[in-house]
Amino acid sequence: MSLLPGKFYLDDFFDDFAPMPKMKGFDMKCDIYEKKGTVHIELEVPGFNKDEIKLDVEDGILTVLAEKNEEKEDKEKNYYRKERVYGSYKRQFNVGNINEKEINAKFNNGVLEISFPKEEKKDTKKFIEIK
């Protein structure tokens, strides 16, 4: 058992030396809930435009990919600090055997809202007779 706090002294100091820069606290947080037989996923993607987000479904896995490319650097600007990070971020969700035409998605104010009908559970359990 450790009595030290999760972030201790210079922990975030060493983050600057990571091979890929990361956006602190950005991991596309989401809420997933069911309402009236429909599953809803509300996913935060702040700082992205609708055209920078892609959705696909394959083998029952819904993938959300948000990708932002670095803007051209202006030679006339003398930056003191540059904190905006560019790259790609991905989340995947197991949605079962759902048709992509049943998935609805809309993007508003940095929140991606995805909804689809709840998959009916089929009883696939079979008992085997022991001889």
Domain boundaries, the chain: 24-117
Phi then psi for 17, rounded to 5 degrees? -95, 5
**The CATH fold of domain 24-117:** Immunoglobulin-like (2.60.40)
pLDDT in tens, 30-62: 999 999 999 999 999 888 889 999 999 998 899
In this structure, are residues 88 and 22 in contact, taking their beta carbons and an 8 Å threshold? no
For the question of whether the overall pTM of this predicted structure is more than 0.95, the answer is no
- Give ∠ CA 26-91-5 in degrees, rounded to 5: 45
